[in-house]
Amino acid sequence: MLTLHTTDGGSWFKPGELIEGRASWHFDEEVDAVEVRLFWYTTGKGTQDVGIIRALRTDSPDASGHRDFSIRVPDGPYSFSGKLITLAWAIELVALPNGETERLDLRIGPQPVEVDLT
Amino acid sequence: MNSVAVARFRPADNPFASHRVEGLAYRFIGFGLTALRQRLEEMGGRSAIVGPKSSGKTTLLDELASTLPGDLVQLRIQGGCRHPWHSARDQLPKPVNPNHLVLVDGAEQLGPLGWRLLLRATRHARGFIATLHRPGRLPTLIECRTDHSLLFDLVEELVPADASTLEPELEGLFHRHGGNIRSCLRELYDLYAGRIASSQ
């Protein structure tokens, strides 16, 4: 079981701010590693693009454990939606190699709403 | 810090958006991943996933990769790549050793010479699986096929409540796109976006 949350429960962060939080896990079977990843991705019509900003890896984790994380938000890109694509941000906790994932959707930008390009 | 809900319909909210389509699992007919792995073993770990464009080869290769142990080397050769052999070579570890299992997505991009060079460069690997449009270069592990019932199955997973209303259009859509499932789903993306826009 994986859980992921930011320290204050927030999901909007401005460029330059720190995203702080805790990733926790409990596994019945051994895993090689867990990773906390901050990334953006595009979705909509067409193929997806993904940019991983930071990946914090913990090798050979205990069956139950946690990791506090602190990742600085880059200058961009901002979260936005246009007619054809949405650019979204998320932070995820991934168990390797089985790929079990817990994800927290974020909004990145100067305002608490994604930029509307329509 | 605040959490803010967005009311308008965004591309990400379209059930045919790329993140949802790319999350669809491969549909096996008649046997599953375990049987496929067994077949791969029987074939000495060197074989091809064969099928036309957008028939699920990459999805299947990725699913297979997630279940295979050992040092996986995953090569992706993009369509339209001008120097596919150089692209493949640059993604290979040096040297390729007997612990490596090499998975090549888009091997049909390689010409005869590039193909031979890739086989030579990976000859010490313990296994080699490639996706190809046509059989012949390697023994065929599985042939991926599409039909309009597969399209319906995928649509039903993406839009369970609306699948039956879309069903009459799916057979024509499938034939219009020559069996290319990804193209069908892209047209459905537009169709769905149009329906939402006209209802707002």
> How crowded is residue A26: how many other Cβ atoms within 10 Å of its Cβ?
12
Q: Is residue B26 part of a domain?
A: no
Last residue of a domain, one of B98, B114, B143: B143
Q: What is the pLDDT of residues B124-172, one digit of tens each?
A: 999 999 999 999 999 999 999 999 999 999 999 999 998 999 999 999 9
**HEC letters along chain A:** CEEEEECCCCCEECCCCEEEEEEEEECCCCCCEEEEEEEEEEEECCCCCEEEEEEEEEECCCCEEEEEEEEECCCCCCCEECCCEEEEEEEEEEEECCCCEEEEEEEECCCCCCEECC
Mean pLDDT, to the nearest integer, of A1-12?
Answer: 96
User: If you ran DSSP here, which 8-state letter would residue B4 be given?
Assistant: -
Q: Are residues B121 and B162 in the same domain?
A: no
B118: domain CATH number?
Answer: 3.40.50.300
Burial environment of residue A23 by CB neighbours within 10 A (0 to 12, 13 to 18, 19 or more): buried
Does B6 score more than 50 pLDDT? no
For A9, the domain range is: 2-38+53-75+90-111
Q: Is residue A83 part of a domain?
A: no
ipTM above 0.95, yes or no: no
Using an 8 Å Cβ cutoff, are B16 and A46 in contact? no
Closest CA to A4 of A71, A88, A77: A71
Last residue of a domain, one of B143, B161, B176: B143
For B75, the domain range is: 33-143
Q: Which two tokens stand for residue A67?
A: 């990791």
Last residue of a domain, one of B103, B121, B143: B143
Q: Model-level pTM? A: 0.83
Does B2 score more than 70 pLDDT? no
Q: What is the pLDDT of residues A19-73, one digit of tens each?
A: 999 999 999 999 999 999 999 999 999 888 999 999 999 999 999 999 999 999 9
Q: Inter-axis angle of helices B148-158 and B181-199, to 10 degrees? A: 40
**3 state DSSP class of B2:** coil
A7: domain CATH number?
Answer: 2.60.40.10
> What residues of B are in contact with residue A82 (Cβ under 8 Å)?
11
Q: Which of A43, A104, A106 has the most B C-beta neighbours within 10 Å, making it the best mutation to test the interface with B?
A: A43
Tell me how far apart the alpha carbons of residues B105 and B114 are, in angstroms, rounded to a whole number. 14
> What residues of A are in contact with residue B18 (Cβ under 8 Å)?
42-48
**3 state DSSP class of B30:** coil
Number of Cβ pairs closer than 8 Å across A and B?
A: 68
Report A:24-83 residues touching B (Cβ under 8 A): 41-48, 81-83
Q: Is residue A97 part of a domain?
A: yes
pLDDT band at B199 (very low <50, low <70, confident <90, very high): confident
- The length of chain A is 118
Q: Is residue A82 part of a domain?
A: no
Q: Are residues B61 and B160 in the same domain?
A: no
The predicted pLDDT at position B158 comes to 97
**Number of folded domains that form chain B:** 2
Higher pLDDT, B41 or B6: B41
**Number of folded domains that form chain A:** 1
Q: Which two tokens stand for residue B145?
A: 């096929």
Angle CA(B106)–CA(B111)–CA(B114) in degrees, nearest 5?
85
- Residue carrying the six token digits 């080699």: B128
Q: Is residue B27 part of a domain?
A: no
Q: What is the DSSP string of B35-77?
A: HHHHHHHHTTTEEEEE-STTSSHHHHHHHHHHH--SEEEEEE-
Question: Which letter, b or e, does each residue of B60-90 get, where b requires 16 or more Cβ atoms within 10 Å of its Cβ?
Answer: bbeebeeebeeebbebbbeeeeeebbebbee
Tell me how far apart the alpha carbons of residues B56 and B145 are, in angstroms, rounded to a whole number. 8
Closest CA to B39 of B140, B138, B145, B146: B140
Q: Are residues B139 and B152 in the same domain?
A: no
Closest CA to B108 of B50, B195, B63: B50
The predicted pLDDT at position B7 comes to 58
Using an 8 Å Cβ cutoff, are B59 and B26 in contact? yes
Q: Are residues B160 and B109 in the same domain?
A: no
Going by their DSSP bridges, the two strands B46-50 and B127-132 should be labelled as parallel
> What residues of A are in contact with residue B10 (Cβ under 8 Å)?
81, 86, 114
pLDDT band at B123 (very low <50, low <70, confident <90, very high): very high
Q: Do B12 and A43 touch (CB under 8 A)?
A: yes
Tell me how far apart the alpha carbons of residues B184 and B174 are, in angstroms, rounded to a whole number. 6
Q: Are residues B152 and B138 in the same domain?
A: no
Q: Is residue A85 part of a domain?
A: no
Closest CA to B20 of B191, B183, B144, B185: B185
